[in-house]
A = this chain, B = another copy of it.
């Protein structure tokens, strides 16, 4: 039977060589403090650690209340036993999800303490210890304290109950099939393991576009099934969230309104919340896409987003539930002839005036860029702009616009750029990562969420290398100070083993992949140029004359969207001055965002010294060349990685090459035909 990557980064392969003896010396015995019931997440932690150790070392540890050996592992909650507490030292700085990993050497014995502030934290500690062992790291001198930077570390599924996954590139849903909830699926447990192993603590299991069937997820018809999933999640410290239909009162509630100020509507949602919590006591809350892309919302009743969100928040409040209210709101029936409307402005224009109006258990969920998960966008100016409103950042792990898990595009570097972006909302240092952590504004709740990239493909993510995005997302939002290289390295070693050549090729390919993808797709931040609806493959004018507000305005002289204050849509003014003056200036604006902010002639000279059109030609030739290069490098790994995964990736790389060549030739031909300016190097343009 082949190895098709189902285990992802939790392979726990047999340890060999020097590490084996060292690990075995510690891991034959696991000590749990007496008197603490081993159930719930703590039980999961014990099981996971045992399972990992057995798999890597061949033998599961014995589980004791008192140590019987000279070396052992102690697992437990801080404050829960003398061995732990003696070792722990000052743990006041740890959050409720924080833990320590410490090797204690005493005169006649030594032990590793894996202890956390909560059961969940113990599970994270266990997974950390396993990660170290999987990576061949020494565990003899551990002295680690870890707390997650963000309290909400979420995943959003865009799964529909018919089994389809909106923007899914990895098969069908693992949660649903034929309008049934797969509540008894072992696969859901395996998924929860994977997510907990990288620290995810909240998952919304249905699409933000809530269709007919999914509207019933919050009713007694389906809650028993949902509750079984919540239970599995709960064992891994993950809260379950549901996307809800804002018009639920009309569609299934028997009312003729969804007016958020209508008493009947409010009562209905309160009863719904009570019902949900009866079935799922630790339910996370509601995720809502309202008044967006033809979804219903409070606008219908002359109310605003605060009215709508607060109505739901009021219902969830007694139970500690949250409302995650998406800010992806814009006019999706724009007339392309109208040059004054700018979709990029929409989220800020809609939400900024509402600052302070939202209840404490509402969080605004804001996409990382003002458009829609493009390969390159500036950071949303709404993020951090509302001092008195909880916010969380939304990324997209699913590679909708970034290669659809056919092409390799490791997104951690993109996310890091976003997190490190300084908004200046409270002066220098007001980075996105600090805002999302609640360090800039005193948010009651905040964090990071992302659209999942998994499905029921054997390897979860379609492309084996797309697993790196799922892993990397979790790791990054646990600790945004990790470098892309560290994350890629961790993933590569756990997923493809310790061979150095394998690791190097994987890491370097991953690190370059976003840049390669950007090179052969839409240039200089202008975005789109994809096949409408599908969003894979080039169609330069595909969205140019559409209703979607996504234009490049290329003519025979130049290209780009003028979003400056003086002559454009004024979008740049939504940033703090330190940023707006950079974006507004043709000279200061960074090359990679030039066409997002400015309309320039093809002959405009970039900071690189090249003209815009020559840059387009050069990057598109280079993009293809680099894909060819990495195809060659991948071939070097034959025999070094499992044959199934080797071939699978090789096949996808060939698809990527086809795609890159299509982009290269169509983009170059398009601009050559339009500008009439030849390539300086006389390469083939059709």
Contact = CB atoms under 8 A, between A and B. Distances in A.
A42 to B, nearest CB: 55
A554 interface: yes
Contact of A673 (B339, B556, B669): B556
Interface in A624-682: 662, 665-666, 669-670, 672-676
A337 interface: yes
Contacts of A339: 686
B676 A555 contact: yes
B556 A674 contact: yes
Nearest to A537: B545
A319 interface: no
Q: How many copies does the complex hold?
A: 2
Contacts of A337: 665, 686
Given A545-B538, A686-B337, A556 B669 contact: no
B555 A666 contact: no
A555 B674 contact: yes
Contacts of A336: 686
Interface in A536-584: 538-542, 545, 554-557
Contact of A676 (B554, B557, B673): B557
Contact of A541 (B541, B672, B675): B541
Interface string A319-360: 000000000000000001101000000000000000000000
A673 B554 contact: yes
A209 B339 CA distance: 44
Sorted nearest first, the 8 A-B pairs with minimum C-beta distance are A555-B673, A545-B666, A337-B686, A556-B556, A556-B676, A541-B541, A556-B674, A674-B674
A675 B676 CA distance: 10
A669 B554 contact: no
A388 B118 CA distance: 89
Contacts of A538: 545
Contacts of A555: 672-674, 676
A528 B226 CA distance: 50
Interface of A: 336-337, 339, 538-542, 545, 554-557, 662, 665-666, 669-670, 672-676, 686
Nearest to A686: B337
A570 to B, nearest CB: 20
Contacts of A539: 541-542, 545
Contact of A545 (B545, B556, B669, B674): B669
Given A539-B542, A539-B545, A556-B675, 16 more contacts: A336-B686, A337-B665, A337-B686, A339-B686, A540-B541, A541-B670, A545-B662, A545-B665, A545-B669, A545-B670, A555-B672, A555-B673, A555-B674, A556-B673, A556-B676, A557-B676
Interface secondary structure of A, over-half rule: loop
A366 to B, nearest CB: 32
A345 to B, nearest CB: 20
8 contacts: A337-B665, A339-B686, A538-B545, A540-B541, A545-B662, A555-B673, A556-B673, A556-B675
A511 B120 CA distance: 77
A676 B558 CA distance: 11
Contacts of A541: 539-541, 670
Nearest to A667: B545
Contacts of A557: 676
A542 B533 CA distance: 13
Nearest to A669: B545
A674 B671 CA distance: 10
Contacts of A672: 555
A540 B556 CA distance: 16
A216 B374 CA distance: 48
Residue of A336, A556, A665, A669 with most partner-chain B CB within 10 A: A556
Contacts of A662: 545
Contacts of A542: 539
A666 B554 CA distance: 13
A111 to B, nearest CB: 65
Contacts of A675: 556
Contacts of A554: 673
A542 to B, nearest CB: 8
A36 B675 CA distance: 79
A562 to B, nearest CB: 15
A503 B545 CA distance: 39
A674 B538 CA distance: 19
A306 B627 CA distance: 45
A616 to B, nearest CB: 15
A441 B538 CA distance: 49
Contacts of A686: 336-337, 339
Nearest to A684: B337
A555 B556 CA distance: 9
Contacts of A545: 538-539, 662, 665-666, 669-670
A386 to B, nearest CB: 35
Nearest to A555: B673
Nearest to A662: B545
A666 B547 CA distance: 12
A686 B336 CA distance: 9
Nearest to A339: B686
A590 B216 CA distance: 63
Contacts of A674: 555-556, 673-674
Contacts of A676: 555-557
A335 to B, nearest CB: 9
A666 to B, nearest CB: 4
A670 B556 CA distance: 10
Nearest to A675: B556
A676 B676 CA distance: 12
Contacts of A673: 554-556, 674
A540 B674 CA distance: 14
A541 B540 CA distance: 8
- Of A538, A554, A669, most buried by chain B (CB within 10 Å of CB) is A669
Contacts of A666: 545
